[in-house]
Structure 1
Amino acid sequence: MADKNREKGGCFRAGCLTAVVAVLLLAGLGWFAQQWGNRLPGRFVLRVPVSGAIDERSPDAASLPLGGARQPLSLEELLTILDRARADKRVDSVLLEIDGLGAPAAKAQELERSIAELRKSGKKVTALLDTPEDKDYRLAAACDSVIVRKGSWMMLDGLKAEMFFFSDPLKKLGVSFQAAQWKKYKSAVESFTRSSPSPENLEETNALLDDAWADYLDSVSRHRHIDPAEFRNVVDSLAVLTPEKALALRLVDRVATERQLEKEYEERLGKPAGELFVGGREYLGATGGMRPKSSGDRIAVVAITGMIVSDGAGGVGEAEVTDVSTVKQALQTALDDPKVKAIVLRIDSPGGDALAASTMLELLQEARLQKPIVASMSGVAASGGYMVALAGSKIFAEPLTITGSIGVFSLKPDLGGLLEKTGIRREVLTRGRFADAYTPFKAFDDASFRKFVETAGTIYDDFIAKVAKGRKMTPAEVDAVAGGRVWSGKRALEVGLIDRIGGLADAVQEAQKLAKMDAKAKPELLYLPARKTWLEYLLAGDASELASALTAGVLRQSLGELEPLTRLPGTKTARFLLRTEEPQVLALDPVEVTIK
């Protein structure tokens, strides 16, 4: 029998048995290592690094060996860590190491709210800064005390929004673009069609910058108990200052080296530093990770992050995207689980493919017939990202969440000039009036361009109708606040595009209420789509899937070094243009605004 199985190539082969045993052994060792490492001291200081852009979710690769430790904590993880620390008696205090923060202001606002709740629980929160800039300092000011490392400096020089325009240099290469821009505030096309911003582009960018600036001044002055005009004078007159100068101006509480701070903790708690501090990721793993800890009723948090794309449109190592099949699977998991009583749709997306966003909305509306859905908008929920939020019975956003951008555009490249410059000849045989109209190697003629624009207009009208139905407004009322206009969350509330100002915790409470769950019990959260751990990959025994995940993790890590380039305005739109030969109608935010 054994010989017959060997002939058939089954798992009685020595190589196959060895592989199975190796996988089980590694899994067992990994489990024991994880359990051993998850033991926490009876009393410790929770040391949480906060840095970078703060992605809404960590990629799958963050949980893989040799990859997770270097991956910055996501907003999802940071909020979970701070929430668990509130009721954890082992946590003496929290030390936030804030460095190089590049997150949107809306995410900083949500973290500030979480810090405030932690302080209310009696836990002291200290911010440790190393050469901080405005975004670092803004978050640090929400803590009980602010310490700046001795020997560093502070660069508090204000906020700015940069816009880049590629039309003129591209023309020199023989490349130009034709755009169906519906309507004038839908300014994402301008990076490719203009050499300077339109009045509408400047209007909405200035409005966002005004809101962010006012909020920054108010937040710091309120937390630090100083006059807003006094703080603004520091920014306008000093900009760069030493920690000692900042101490004299009451902007910080202490100037110290890291070792001095560690010694103070050691003296107070009577332990050496090696036994005193627990890192944020270590604490998260020791307290159950991102999975529900009990078997009771729960609320599913379904994330739509990054660009919205059609199935299979994302690539390995590419920036975060969400496709239709991923949302469909996540919703099915939530609907099939009898313990899930409601769904919170968590959105951090500038939009993307208009048809994909429309399909996601349809799936969500069907799911809402079975279980309540509440939408929670994070850093950005614009265009297609806002469209999917319409599935929520209530929509929550932070005051500075980039919201709205109700509109569409389509952009078609014309590479005819490039072919001419390089001497490439193109011969085309057609049957049908418009067979070659959408090629990227020539411009539209008048009739083709009219059809191009009509398509964008049809999709815009459909978008308006969806918003009117979802927000109980007339199409005319929606059009008055649409046309591609982008709003801060605060202004979006005023014009009726959202229902409440609040973060994920507020949306969870509303979902709990709609599902008629016990108001006194804190519901467990089931985050979807679920992230696989490296141990789960091993136990599944799918070597190809594990290899793909590892490859994606390595690529993301490598591409992270090119982050400044990939964050140039226009790059998101350019990635879409390069996906297919045909022009695409995009429900994408009007301008890639980065306020820093």
Structure 2
Amino acid sequence: MSRLWNSGKRPGCLVRGCLAVIVFSLLALAAVFFLQRSRSALPERFVLHIPLTGTVREHSSRSGALPFLAPMEPLSQQELLFMLRRASGDSRVEAVLLSIDGLRAAPAKIGELRASIEAVRKGGKRVIAFLRSPEDSDYLLASACDSIIVAKGSFMLLDGLRAETLYYKTALAKIGVSFQAAQWKEYKSGVEPYVRSGPSPQSRERLGELLDDVYGEYLGYVSRRRAMAPETLERIVNTRPLMTAEEAIRLKLVDGTVPAWQLEPSLEKTMTGRLPEEESDFFVDGRRYSASFDSPLEHEGREKLALVTISGPIVPTGSEGVEDMGEGVGEGQIRRALDRALADKNIRAIVVRIDSPGGDAMASASMLEMLDSAAVKKPLVVSMSGVAASGGYMAALAGKTIYASPLTITGSIGVYALKPEISGLAEKTGLGRSVVTRGRYADANSLFKPLDREEYRMFVEASGEIYRDFVGKVAASRTLSFAGADSLAGGRVWTGKRALAVGLVDRSGGLFDALREAQRLAGIDSTRHPEIVSLSEEQGWIALLLNGDGARLMQRAERMVVKHLAGSALSSGGMSAFDVFGLEAVRSGRMMMLTLMPFDVDIR
């Protein structure tokens, strides 16, 4: 084996060649199978069965995924919205069945899905929710349906909302690790877990306001749908959070119970009046339904609207490893999407959908510049999803009109930076270090020493420059004075409803509202239906296969397998924004200035 490696040849290439042959063969067979399955004709009458489980991501990566791994990913927010919109006008769809189990989503995403469910019901179609072991998020979405069925023998947990933050300062000090921080300004609380032992008054204040807004909307919506007083629902949450399915029926929280295995047969018998056949095609899975169409919505003519999605942490150029894992959005990805939108003469306007807590400060600013440049050439409208905060809000400033849902998390206009220091850990472990430098500050950014007074002053001032630039961008875009923009900044987090009141966004609404506005700005008649073209998708594996791009196909296969294996070991929620930038910091070895939301807000 050693002779082979030293012979000057590259055995790795031989191994890759063999693997390529095997992969190509498997993909060719899989292509036939999956294309045949996805394009098979749908029945003339059916119930659309949509699974809703796990974390609801904004945008699917299945277009670029390998077919045998793609089905593992839950349906994305955009897939669900477009699917429900299609179903509302599809005469073949008798009813919609939502199987909801362990849903985890931002409050605004649940609100937008509820609005889509209500649109299906207004179209005369029945919507049924089936819950296995429901918690607050499952029940909040299910409450939009005509009826709620719970799995027999299951329990229902409605225990309200909770915000939890861990503080690492004291624990890290025990092993000799500490942090220095630059914080612009007092409400930018992302540094607090590393430099404090508990929350600041500002952090507690803002988080309390967010919980008040979300909890009030939760109680108000559910109580209206279930025809009970909000006080009654709150009393149940505070006194009987855990209940059996039968108790939930008695409390009029749900409408019935059935064993999971009997759900489809009993529903088919109720709707058709006959016993189900052994090979019944009465239920059509959401993925099969979606795959039967070549575009998100019905369209006519050659006019198009581009949909560009900024989803996940914003990472800088050179972070392809993070971007390729689907855990961040890079400058290059957005640049390519905008280039396609501007090059296609049939694309009349651009809708930028943002579901991002922000990220790298320079990457966020670069993304805004690209969007501003595109907005000069074609109308550009922004639609905020679950979160469009900090660097995500910066990107939104390019919009002619900015839409946000009432519970969208936005704002967080601020900057922070963290500098780790492990001299205590080195001393505890007996690690010695010798450094030879040329230049006064050559060793300033070292893990093994804290910044001295002058170094720390420059550290804080550098992040302050980024903050002032950020506030200046907000002032220019929102026609505010610098002082006025600064009074809304400082790291303050706003719900969409509050952001609308203070002028940080223009209108309340979701994705379809933004698409209608883009159509109006493009001068397309409101009675027409332009094609919606998603430009955030990777080139599909079939296209790579047909183009003979074996190298990219192998790279994609490798990273998808790694992601799949990592996903099995990690939680279904994937990596948080802080995990992403921790990975990038380890990879790059550099200090990072972040315009990043200090916390995530999901309902479980």
User: Which of the residues 129, 133, 144 maps onto 2:131?
Assistant: 129
What SS does the corresponding residue of 1:574 show, helix, strand or coil? helix
Residue number in structure 2 paired with 1:433: 440
Looking at structure 1, the residues matched to 498 and 190 of structure 2 have their Cα atoms a distance apart, in angstroms, of 21
Cα offsets for 1:62-111 (capped at 9, x unmatched) = 74221122210011111111111111111111000010011111100010
> How do residues 143-542 of structure 1 correspond to structure 2 at under 5 angstroms?
143-267=145-269, 268-269=271-272, 270=274, 271-272=276-277, 274-288=280-294, 290=296, 296-315=302-321, 318-542=325-549
What SS does the corresponding residue of 1:154 show, helix, strand or coil? strand
Q: Please, what is the CA RMSD of the aligned residues?
A: 2.5
Could you tell me whether the CA contact under 8 Å between 1:191 and 1:570 is conserved in 2?
Answer: no
Cα offsets for 1:532-571 (capped at 9, x unmatched) = 3332232122222222222222222222231279667953
Looking at structure 2, the residues matched to 236 and 296 of structure 1 have their Cα atoms a distance apart, in angstroms, of 56
Letter in 1 for 2:383: S
What SS does the corresponding residue of 1:125 show, helix, strand or coil? strand
Change (3 A) 1:192 1:595: farther
Residue number in structure 2 paired with 1:585: 593
Change (3 A) 1:284 1:346: same
What SS does the corresponding residue of 2:44 show, helix, strand or coil? coil
Looking at structure 2, the residues matched to 470 and 219 of structure 1 have their Cα atoms a distance apart, in angstroms, of 34
Q: Flag structure 2 segments of 5+ consecutive residues without an equivalent.
A: 1-16
What SS does the corresponding residue of 2:336 show, helix, strand or coil? helix
What SS does the corresponding residue of 1:118 show, helix, strand or coil? helix
Query: Is the deviation greater in 110-119 or in 311-320?
Result: 311-320
Looking at structure 1, the residues matched to 27 and 533 of structure 2 have their Cα atoms a distance apart, in angstroms, of 27
What SS does the corresponding residue of 1:80 show, helix, strand or coil? helix
Residue number in structure 1 paired with 2:31: 30
What SS does the corresponding residue of 1:275 show, helix, strand or coil? coil
Could you tell me whether the CA contact under 8 Å between 2:63 and 2:537 is conserved in 1?
Answer: no
What SS does the corresponding residue of 2:449 show, helix, strand or coil? coil
Query: Is the deviation greater in 570-579 or in 541-550?
Result: 570-579
> How do residues 97-112 of structure 1 correspond to structure 2 at under 5 angstroms?
97-112=99-114
Q: TM-score, normalised by structure 2?
A: 0.91
Cα offsets for 1:162-184 (capped at 9, x unmatched) = 10111111111211100011111
Looking at structure 1, the residues matched to 415 and 397 of structure 2 have their Cα atoms a distance apart, in angstroms, of 17
Cα offsets for 1:274-296 (capped at 9, x unmatched) = 31111011111112265987662
Looking at structure 2, the residues matched to 582 and 33 of structure 1 have their Cα atoms a distance apart, in angstroms, of 44
Change (3 A) 1:594 1:24: closer
Looking at structure 2, the residues matched to 293 and 536 of structure 1 have their Cα atoms a distance apart, in angstroms, of 24
What SS does the corresponding residue of 1:173 show, helix, strand or coil? coil
* Residues 1:554 and 2:556 aligned together: no
Cα offsets for 1:213-255 (capped at 9, x unmatched) = 0011011011112111011111101000111111111111111
What SS does the corresponding residue of 1:315 show, helix, strand or coil? helix
Cα offsets for 1:466-494 (capped at 9, x unmatched) = 00011111111111110001111111111
Could you tell me whether the CA contact under 8 Å between 2:444 and 2:451 is conserved in 1?
Answer: yes
Change (3 A) 1:22 1:54: closer
Query: Is the deviation greater in 32-41 or in 377-386?
Result: 32-41
User: Which of the residues 91, 94, 105 maps onto 2:93?
Assistant: 91
Cα offsets for 1:285-335 (capped at 9, x unmatched) = 112265987662111110111110111214267452111111111000001
Looking at structure 1, the residues matched to 268 and 249 of structure 2 have their Cα atoms a distance apart, in angstroms, of 24
Change (3 A) 1:578 1:149: same
Residue number in structure 2 paired with 1:13: none
* Segments ≥4 residues shifted beyond 4 Å: 19-29, 60-63, 289-295, 564-570
Could you tell me whether the CA contact under 8 Å between 2:55 and 2:573 is conserved in 1?
Answer: no
What SS does the corresponding residue of 2:148 show, helix, strand or coil? strand
Could you tell me whether the CA contact under 8 Å between 2:169 and 2:178 is conserved in 1?
Answer: yes
1:27 Cα deviation from its structure 2 partner: 4.5
Could you tell me whether the CA contact under 8 Å between 1:161 and 1:595 is conserved in 2?
Answer: no
Residue number in structure 1 paired with 2:7: none
Q: TM-score, normalised by structure 1?
A: 0.93
Query: Is the deviation greater in 424-433 or in 573-582?
Result: 573-582
Could you tell me whether the CA contact under 8 Å between 1:299 and 1:523 is conserved in 2?
Answer: yes
1:502 Cα deviation from its structure 2 partner: 0.8
1:495 Cα deviation from its structure 2 partner: 1.2
What SS does the corresponding residue of 2:162 show, helix, strand or coil? coil
Query: Is the deviation greater in 261-270 or in 274-283?
Result: 261-270
- Number of aligned positions between the proteins: 582
Cα offsets for 1:348-394 (capped at 9, x unmatched) = 11101111110110111110011000111111111000000000011
Letter in 2 for 1:30: A
Letter in 1 for 2:317: D
1:418 Cα deviation from its structure 2 partner: 1.6
Residue number in structure 1 paired with 2:10: none
Query: Is the deviation greater in 403-412 or in 255-264?
Result: 255-264
What SS does the corresponding residue of 1:196 show, helix, strand or coil? coil
Looking at structure 1, the residues matched to 347 and 55 of structure 2 have their Cα atoms a distance apart, in angstroms, of 31
Percent identity between matched residues is 47
What SS does the corresponding residue of 2:67 show, helix, strand or coil? coil
